[in-house]
Amino acid sequence: MTGPAQWGASGIFVAYGKTVALADVSLSAPAGQVTAVVGGDGAGKTTLLRCLAGALAPDRGSVRRPPKERAGYLPASSGIYPDLTVTENLDFRATGYGMSRADARERAAAYLDRAGLAAAADRLAGQLSGGMRQKLAVIAAMLHQPELLVLDEPTTGVDPVSRSGLWWLIAHAAAQGCAVVLATTYLDDAERAASVLVLDAGIALASGTGEQIVAAMPGALREETARPADTTRAWRRGGRWRVWDPAGDAASVRPDLQDAVTVAALAAAAGQR
């Protein structure tokens, strides 16, 4: 592969009318690793990924990405044609990438086999399950072995078995030297990534490795069995409650990434970030 070792965005700002979608957001996407963008609905994940993929120009800031033909993009809509078979979808995508039919078929066959889709090669994409369709969409986006692979919530609504197959494809792309950026609402997906960017209402709340984000969490956590009288800094985890003390220094509970992301959102809401 050619080009710089790291893609990403610096200080990008995007607004739709009076609504700010991204405010001074930066992201590094090094080659050979997976970078996760985490946040709820309206956090700005899709807008950021569209900027990275070249589908949207930011109002301010800069984006570093390879030429269009060296990038792969999976939008939230999957981009798969339901009236084409699995093979026809991949042939169509390969033509758009300028790949030879022989090379595309050989590579597609290997991906389909590993993803458990080989037996469905002649089925219409519209007849596939949601998980199978998402795996096909990821294969289509990575078929030409891009330098940057941008995936918008590839695992949302996908069953655990299909998620495992999806993660093999994602990890394989990174192992081949591709910079992979994926958006997700699932923190267990984010924990698989080499680095994480947490967004909320277009603002970056935290970034770094999962361990760095947890280590930077302010205050301390304690666990309670009964619902606290004040729930402004409390949330349920399983059958218990986690309570965040911003000024605390002696935690009774060791936080994980889910706790750290929740605290980052609470701190931002309280104006403490």
Query: What was the pLDDT predicted at 268?
Result: 87
pLDDT at residue 160, as a whole number: 83
User: Which of 201, 233, 258 corresponds to the end of one domain?
Assistant: 201
Strand partners, 37: 183, 197
Q: Is there a domain that residue 129 lies in?
A: yes
String of b and e for 169-187 (b: at least 16 CB within 10 Å)?
Answer: bbebbbeeebbbbbbbeeb
Question: Domain containing 237: what range?
Answer: 210-269
Rounded to an integer, the average pLDDT of 30-43 is: 94
Q: Are 136 and 123 in contact (CB under 8 A)?
A: no
Q: Please check whether residue 121 lies inside any domain of the structure.
A: yes
- Ramachandran area for residue 99 (φ above 0: left; ψ -120 to 50: alpha; else beta): beta
Q: Look at residues 67, 48, 66, 73 and name the one whose alpha carbon lies nearest to residue 58.
A: 48
Please check whether residues 219 and 171 belong to one and the same domain. no
Are 12 and 146 part of one and the same domain? Answer: yes
CATH of residue 115's domain is 3.40.50.300
Whole-number CA gyration radius for the chain: 20
214 vs 248, residue with greater confidence: 214
Residue 161 token pair: 């078995």
Residue 79: which pLDDT band, with cuts at 50, 70 and 90? confident
Q: Which position has the higher pLDDT, 84 or 188?
A: 84
Give the pLDDT confidence score for residue 4 in this predicted structure.
43
**Mean pLDDT calculated for residue range 156-182:** 90
- Evaluate if residue 264 carries a pLDDT over 90: yes
Q: Is residue 222 a contact partner of residue 233, using CB atoms and an 8 Å limit?
A: no
Instruction: Please indicate, yes or no, whether residues 219 and 129 belong to a single structural domain of this protein.
Output: no
pTM of the complete model beyond 0.85? yes
**Do 141 and 17 fall within a single domain?**
yes
Cα gap 173→71, rounded to integer Å: 12
In a domain, 1, yes or no: no
Cα–Cα dist 38/186, whole Å: 8
User: Domain for residue 91, yes or no?
Assistant: yes
Domain count, the chain: 2
Residue range 237-250: mean pLDDT, rounded? 88
| Domain presence at residue 120 | yes
Residue 61 lies in a domain: yes
Cα separation, 273 vs 260, whole angstroms: 13
For 12, half-sphere exposure in the C-beta direction (CA atoms, 13 angstrom radius) is 24
Kindly tell me the sign of the dihedral angle through the C-alpha atoms of 178, 183, 189, 190.
Answer: positive
Q: What is the pLDDT of residues 181-199, one digit of tens each?
A: 999 988 889 999 999 999 9
Contact call for residues 83 and 126 (beta carbons, < 8 A): yes
